Amino acid sequence: MAEIDATGRSTREVNAAIRKSIAEGCTAITVLNPEARHNLAVAILNGVHVRIAGSAGYYCGGLGDGASIEVDGSAGWGLAESMLSGTVVVRGNAGSGAAAALRSGTVVVYGDAAARLGVSMKGGEVIVAGSCGYMAGFMAQKGTLIVCGDAGEAFADSMYATVCYVGGQIASLGTDAVLSSMESGEIEGLEATLSAHLPADLRRAKPAAADFKKVVAGRKLWNFDKREWRIWQEAL
Amino acid sequence: MCGIVGYFDKTGADHQPLGKVLLRMLHALACRGPDSAGVALFRFPQPHQLVARVKVGDHRGSASRILDVKAMGEKFGGREFTQQGDYLRFTLNDDGDLRSFVSSVESVAADVEVVSVGRRLEIVKQVGSPSRLEQSFGISGYQGGHGIGHTRLSTESVVDLSHSQPFWGHGYPDLAIVHNGHITNYHQLRRRYQQRGVRFYTENDSEVVAIFLADKLKRGITLRAALESMITELDGSFSCLVATDSALAFVKDSFSFKPLLYTETESFAAVATEEIAMRAAIPGDYVVREGRAKEVQIWQR
């Protein structure tokens, strides 16, 4: 267990101190007084646990591969962007572009996520206990996107094979996004995922798994023929 | 880039260390905009009295220029003149014709500009960093109830005092804005206003936001309706903070292109481009969230 006080240190020095602690065999690191600075705990390539004791700025946990990162406060733009594997948990709210281009691993937000959540995600799980802004899941390719609260406009626009679940209202579905019904065993799977990643009291306050809406790609854009003008008219 | 900040005290006490809070917030965002820095402070009003801040010239103004501006100010009952950097600050009675005051003072020379007028509002801005703003004007000593600030990264227009932010809603007392983003139908809007005789002082697209809002408020449209109309009438990216004598507000464009975070507790509301600004200036336990696309928030006294 190592404690790194960010006060008076540059972010480069804080991240270097995290790496040094890992090299020394430390498996749990706490960063004190982060004060919402950017690029904290980026590109950590092993299974260490990093707790940010406060808020984080942009790109926290981005490009990581295997670390487990916990943010006590809120996170700024690009949380866990392009993460390859690992877990990022934010107790507060997340800024725009959280879990963008996520490759694998799990991103959990106890509060709300802003715009462009999980755009172009290529795998992994994104779980937001609150609501999310517009265009979540845009061009998402694989993985699972779960929003327990309300979803903003153009939800799940132009997706490939990501599966989305929304517990609240969807302001509007994006191009080629369609509602679908859950297959057998899927409700239990969703419940297991939510229970595994959300604290029990937070989980209880959210809709039952059976009440979630499932959204998938309508697959109309998968084999898009540019001469089909009706699709163009719908899409633009 | 550009960094914008705002602070609104909810306890009702006017004697808050407003300048100190805004300066700390700006310091934290200085790297987002090294070209210029400025604040619009809303201080405690004197009854029936306006404060005018006038830029006396592009290069500090000669002694004779200052006398000319002062003489013109005196014609409108101006008194308590003080000179600070490029500014002449004075008070005047709140009963005259503001439009004729502004045009008369500005008729002294082409590079004279009334930077702000208000019962509470004072805009202090200049080229350089927030630290330089503090060195020149000692803004950390200013008290007040609410205010906004800006650090500028110039992308389209020149770097000088007039092109710096905040912008006053020219001709409308106690209205100030700061803007992060780019108004893409700026030229169209500018032509529309110029055809109606509105003067533009700069080639900064953010100026049109101040002119747009001053125009709406002059027509008796509510602040909320004016901010909502920005979302449909202005194109491009904007996270804007707007302050009047009794309110702090923000509005975001339809796509949430630019960041803007806010927090609210029982005693204050704060808004900034990055949370880092709030954590640097305001201690304590509070939850920060990002504004949504098309979101309008108003904190009113």
| Cβ-Cβ contacts under 8 Å, B289 against chain A | 74, 92-93, 111-112, 114
- Cβ–Cβ below 8 Å for A133 and B279: no
| Chain mean pLDDT for chain B | 95
Yes or no: say if B295 and B47 are a contact pair by the CB < 8 Å rule: no
Mean pLDDT taken over chain A: 96
In a domain, A38, yes or no: no
CATH 3.60.20.10 correct for B3-44+124-300 = yes
Query: Residue A226: its pLDDT value, please?
Result: 75
The mean pLDDT value for B240-261 works out to 97
What is residue B128's three-state secondary structure? coil
Does B261 contact chain A (CB < 8 Å)? yes
B 270-289 residues inside an 8 A Cβ radius of A: 274-276, 278-280, 287-289
Supply the CATH number for residue A123's domain: 2.160.20.60
Host domain of residue A177: 93-235
Check pLDDT > 80 for residue B13. Answer: no
Inform me whether the pLDDT recorded for B124 exceeds 90: yes
The arithmetic mean of pLDDT across residues B226-236, rounded, is 98
Q: Are strands B146-152 and B289-290 parallel, antiparallel or unpaired?
A: unpaired
The pLDDT value given to residue B14: 62
pLDDT at B66: 94
The verdict on ipTM greater than 0.90 is yes
Q: Which pLDDT band, with edges at 50, 70 and 90, does A141 fall under?
A: very high
Mean per-residue pLDDT for A213-227? 88
Q: What is the CATH number of domain B46-118?
A: 3.30.70.1150
Q: Where in chain B is the domain with CATH 3.60.20.10?
A: 3-44+124-300
Range in A150-159, B5-14, B194-203 the model is least confident about: B5-14
Question: Which of B256, B274, B292 lies nearest to residue A57, judging by beta carbons?
Answer: B274
Smallest CA–CA distance from B258 into chain A, residue:
A96
- Provide the pLDDT for residue A236: 57
In-domain check, residue A118? yes
* pLDDT band at residue B47 using 50, 70 and 90 as cut-offs: confident
Given a cut of 60, whether residue B214 has pLDDT beyond it is yes
Q: Please tell me the total count of domains within chain A.
A: 1
Tokens 């001469």 belong to A227
CATH 3.30.70.1150: which residues of chain B?
46-118
Cβ pair A76:B279 closer than 8 A? no
How would you write chain A as a 3-class SS string? CEEEECCCCCHHHHHHHHHHHHHCCCCEEEEECCCCCCCCCCCCCCCCEEEEECCECCCCCCCCEEEEEEECCCECCCCCCCCCEEEEEECCCECCCCCCCCCCCEEEECCCECCCCCCCCEEEEEEECCCECCCCCCCCCEEEEEECCCECCCECCCCCCCEEEECCCECCECCCEEEECCCCCHHHHHHHHHHHHCCHHHHHCCCCHHHCEEEEECCCCCCCCCCCHHHHHHHC
Residue A232 has pLDDT above 90, yes or no: no
Strand-pair category, B3-9 with B121-127:
unpaired
Say whether B287 and A93 touch across the interface (CB within 8 A). Answer: yes
Residue A116 domain-assigned (yes or no): yes
Q: How many CA atoms lie within 13 A of B112 on its CB side?
A: 24
Decide if B256 touches A, using CB distance below 8 A: yes
- Return the half-sphere exposure (C-beta side, CA atoms, 13 A cut-off) of residue B42: 25
More confident call, B44 vs A26: A26
